[in-house]
Amino acid sequence: MTESSEQRESKNFVEQAIDEDLKSGRFSGVFTRFPPEPNGYLHIGHAKSICLNFGLARTHDGTCNLRFDDTNPTKEETEYVESIMEDIRWLGFEWDSLHFASDYFDQLYQWAEKLIEEGHAYVCDLNADETRQYRGTLTAPGRDSPYRDRSPEENLDLFRRMRDGEFEDGTRALRAKIDMASPNMNLRDPVMYRILRATHHRTGDKWCIYPTYDWTHGQSDSIEGITFSICTLEFENHRPLYDWYCEKLDIHHPRQIEFAKLKLSTLLMGKRYMIRLVKEGFVTGWDDPRMFTIRGYRRRGYTPESIRSFCADVGVAKFNSTIEIVRLENSIREHLNRIAPRRMAVLDPVKLTITNWPEGRVELNEAINNPGDADAGKREIPFSGQLFIERDDFREEAPRKFFRLKKDGAVRLRAGYIVDCHDVIKDDEGNVIEILCTYDPDSKSGSDTSGRKVKGTIHWVSAEHATEVEVRLYDRLFMVDDPSVVEEGQTFVDHLNPDSLQVVTGYVEPALAKAEVGERVQFERLGYYIVDEDSTAEKQVFNRIVPLRDTWGKIEAKGKKS
């Protein structure tokens, strides 16, 4: 059971609405769509919507389309279309059919003429500024446009001339004739078409008028036979307009349902934030392993499964909540714990010499690939008299609860022997540069006849056999819960974690030499790592995906505080 949480019995409010409409016969199936505007890269927030839309279609034996909402040519690019498709597929979903709102421009135009003919739309000569004046405010009703009562004939003529390019950008707009006094701003004669001379990424220069989101979205859903049009909460106030257009046009009428978008602590998902991070070089690009984009998480080493199970885990509701980032981190740990083979790597090495080890002798020790998965098998690791261990795993004078190696103490070397430390060598500044131990020949892992029990087990690599690699230790970009909250005169940039990336040279066991780009492993006792695409034949590069839970770190931190 990889994603048992996806099969929970309790239903969220969207599923309940679906059940209700299926049961009543309002709709005969679940036909959804994921409708991004191709104006940027997908981020973890989109993943929730993708999982919801595709997931609902999947569990109800329906369909889910991918539709690009490309009605604003000034912001959209083909590059984004490609990246969005790639990211959705990487997440593990495939659309039943691919559409572009721009494919419906002709139909939309026809429908606009229909509304004009029926007296439901008019050409307004107010410019953007004047339109705002007439719209009124949140508390005051608007006033009717002086052009509101033009005849259908005149409107039709004007609208066609708009289409034919007779007027300057922004000088006229087609508006729906609804109610300038409506408490819902969206119903105060919303704009359906604006004059906009811009080259569209698909229709080129065919059009100089473009439909707005509201005049496009519901009809696009309708054309595709969508039954449940799922979107985020900020469109709640648009629903009456969505419904109005479908009714006036007398076309198939999907049900719009709004849910709360994903908000994660320590993350800033807004486009303007992410653009600044990239443009000002705080990260290396949209796929920087610290970014909240889908490609960032992919490069970081997150699995599609972990992101899907995370989305299923956080649920769907209308409450504006903030999910703790540890839950995302937890979901990747949970998955990788099951599938990642264990390997040994030392990232901050100090030399450990076994003084009673026979000169030149090398043993091949057997090690288990995954203690939780017998099928993962075993591997061999060379063991010799010259090892590297983690600097942090040795203390000359250790606190009471320190279970690792200390002077005159013993520790087990993972998949090796118990060693006893009898001396250390220091440099002029008093730093330990070499640890001298003896090993207990009877204590070999797997065939221990020594009868000794030691509290700690540490990892190691054989100095002579280890490979030198580059390791990129990634940490959270922001350490505060909500980086958008700033002091006077500061911006979110001031919350950036200066240590979000640390590059170190590590030493890894020989079994890793053949690891290919994209392979994920657990460095025992450290965390999960993936071979990055920057790896070359000369040098591998590993990204830290997420560290292991660190109980000792907590104990130690607590001890320091008190």
Partner RNA sequence: UACCCCGUGGUGUAAUGGUAACACUACUGAUUUUGGUUCAGUCAUUCAAGGUUCGAGUCCUUGCGGGGUAGCCA
Does residue number 457 form part of the binding site for RNA (CB under 7 A)?
Answer: yes
Does residue number 237 form part of the binding site for RNA (CB under 7 A)?
Answer: yes
Q: Which residue's CB is nearer to RNA, number 282 or number 552? A: 552
Q: How far is the CB of 261 from RNA (least distance, A)?
A: 10
120 half-sphere exposure, CB direction, 13 A CA radius: 16
Does residue number 63 form part of the binding site for RNA (CB under 7 A)?
Answer: no
Among 49, 60, 69, 162, binds RNA (CB under 7 A): 69
Among 90, 109, 147, 213, binds RNA (CB under 7 A): 213
Site string for RNA, 82-121 (x = CB under 7 A): ----------------------------------------
> What does the alpha-carbon distance between residue 533 and residue 530 come to, in Å, rounded to a whole number?
9
Among 6, 29, 75, 143, binds RNA (CB under 7 A): 75
Non-local CB neighbours of 346 within 8 Å, separated by 6+ positions: 388, 389, 390, 459, 460, 461, 466, 506, 507, 508
Does residue number 72 form part of the binding site for RNA (CB under 7 A)?
Answer: yes
Tokens 């969206």 appear where?
186
Q: Is the distance from CB of 120 to CB of 176 less than 8 angstroms?
A: yes
Among 146, 165, 270, 372, binds RNA (CB under 7 A): 372
Tokens 């890269």 appear where?
41
Q: How far is the CB of 63 from RNA (least distance, A)?
A: 21
Nearest to 232 by CA among 245, 246, 217: 217
The pairing of beta strand 410-413 with beta strand 418-426:
antiparallel
Q: What burial class does residue 494 get, using C-beta atoms within 10 Å of its C-beta: 0-12 exposed, 13-18 middle, 19+ buried?
A: exposed
Nearest to 491 by CA among 240, 202, 273, 293: 273
Q: Which residue's CB is nearer to RNA, number 326 or number 517? A: 326
Q: Give the range of 157-165, 429-437, 494-502, 520-528 binding RNA by CB under 7 A.
A: 520-528
- Beta-strand ranges (E) seen in 489-552 are 501-508, 520-523, 527-531, 541-547
Joined together, the tokens standing for residue 203 give 């229709």
Joined together, the tokens standing for residue 318 give 């209308």
Q: How far is the CB of 534 from RNA (least distance, A)?
A: 26
SS (H, E, C) 166-199: CCCCCCCEEEECCCCCCCCHHHCCCEEEEECCCC
Q: How far is the CB of 405 from RNA (least distance, A)?
A: 10
Q: Distance of CA 59 to CAs 51, 54, 63, 226, 265, Å?
A: 11, 9, 10, 16, 30
Joined together, the tokens standing for residue 412 give 């087990």
Does residue number 138 form part of the binding site for RNA (CB under 7 A)?
Answer: yes
Q: Give the range of 8-16, 109-117, 298-306, 501-509 binding RNA by CB under 7 A.
A: 8-16
Does residue number 364 form part of the binding site for RNA (CB under 7 A)?
Answer: no
Q: How far is the CB of 71 from RNA (least distance, A)?
A: 4
Q: How far is the CB of 537 from RNA (least distance, A)?
A: 29
Does residue number 303 form part of the binding site for RNA (CB under 7 A)?
Answer: no
Q: Give the range of 77-85, 280-288, 329-337, 465-473 binding RNA by CB under 7 A.
A: 329-337
Which residues within the stretch 158-197 sit at the binding site for RNA (CB under 7 A)?
A: 169-173, 183-186, 190-191, 194-196
Q: How far is the CB of 39 from RNA (least distance, A)?
A: 7
> What does the alpha-carbon distance between residue 277 and residue 289 come to, in Å, rounded to a whole number?
13
Joined together, the tokens standing for residue 410 give 């013993």
Does residue number 330 form part of the binding site for RNA (CB under 7 A)?
Answer: yes
Does residue number 324 form part of the binding site for RNA (CB under 7 A)?
Answer: yes
> What does the alpha-carbon distance between residue 469 and residue 344 come to, in Å, rounded to a whole number?
13
Does residue number 353 form part of the binding site for RNA (CB under 7 A)?
Answer: no
Q: Give the range of 57-65, 133-141, 350-358, 421-429 binding RNA by CB under 7 A.
A: 133-141
Q: How far is the CB of 316 from RNA (least distance, A)?
A: 6
> What does the alpha-carbon distance between residue 196 and residue 203 come to, in Å, rounded to a whole number?
13
Q: Which residue's CB is nearer to RNA, number 28 or number 321? A: 321
Does residue number 446 form part of the binding site for RNA (CB under 7 A)?
Answer: yes
Does residue number 290 form part of the binding site for RNA (CB under 7 A)?
Answer: no
Does residue number 10 form part of the binding site for RNA (CB under 7 A)?
Answer: yes
Does residue number 535 form part of the binding site for RNA (CB under 7 A)?
Answer: no
Q: What burial class does residue 367 get, using C-beta atoms within 10 Å of its C-beta: 0-12 exposed, 13-18 middle, 19+ buried?
A: buried
Does residue number 203 form part of the binding site for RNA (CB under 7 A)?
Answer: no
The SS3 call for residue 361 is coil
The SS3 call for residue 284 is coil
Does residue number 316 form part of the binding site for RNA (CB under 7 A)?
Answer: yes
Q: Is the distance from CB of 484 to CB of 272 less than 8 angstroms?
A: no
450 half-sphere exposure, CB direction, 13 A CA radius: 16
Q: How far is the CB of 536 from RNA (least distance, A)?
A: 28
Among 29, 113, 180, 212, binds RNA (CB under 7 A): 212
